[in-house]
Copies of this chain bind each other. A is one copy, B any other.
Amino acid sequence: MTDFIRQDSLNRITNGDLGCFKELTLAMFSGKWKINILYHLDHDGDYHFNELTRLLPRASHKMITQQLNELREDGLITKHTDKHHSITYTTYSLTPLGKSLIPILDMMYDWGKKRISDLKLDTASFPLSNKNL
């Protein structure tokens, strides 16, 4: 759904019938690996393409490219290329717009962290207790 939700939101903006502003924000980072990419670019600074592939070993080559392109289309990151002896290095950086999204990601981090610790303390009410615990 990831990309679908994003395209749908973006299309509906152009048509002027976006259901809720929240949907646009969700569309910005709901793609696979996007929150991780945004986090690393904010927390660690700029990254090259191959560095990102090493940071996200479970992400395929193709997906990283795709997610980076979408983040760039949405104005959240920029890309800069540099050539050294026919070898191209690409650097990705957060834009101010991308940085403005970080507080939301930070709140999501805090909520998730608290939720996990609560679940650890209270296994009886674990939402997946009916599955495989």
A110 closest partner in B (C-beta): B21
Q: Is the CB of B111 within 8 A of A23?
A: no
Given A127-B73, A127-B75, A132-B14, A115 contacting B24 (CB threshold 8 A): yes
Q: Is the CB of A100 within 8 A of B104?
A: no
List 6 extra interface pairs beyond A25-B109, A25-B111, A26-B35, CB under 8 A: A20-B36, A21-B115, A24-B116, A73-B127, A75-B125, A104-B108
In the complex the two chains form, what is the Cα distance from A113 to B112 in whole Å?
A: 25
In the complex the two chains form, what is the Cα distance from A5 to B4 in whole Å?
A: 14
Q: Is the CB of A116 within 8 A of B13?
A: yes
**A64 smallest CB distance to B (angstroms):** 14
Residues of A within 8 A of B (CB): 1-2, 5, 10, 13-14, 18-26, 29-32, 35-36, 39, 58, 73-75, 97, 100-101, 103-105, 107-113, 115-116, 119, 125, 127-128, 131-133
The residue from B14, B58, B115 contacting A25, defined by CB atoms under 8 A apart: B115
Could you list some 29 contacts between A and B, CB below 8 A?
Answer: A1-B2, A1-B31, A2-B5, A10-B127, A13-B119, A13-B128, A14-B128, A20-B39, A20-B112, A21-B111, A21-B115, A22-B35, A22-B105, A22-B108, A22-B109, A22-B112, A23-B112, A25-B108, A25-B109, A25-B115, A26-B29, A26-B30, A74-B127, A75-B125, A100-B111, A101-B111, A104-B104, A104-B107, A107-B107
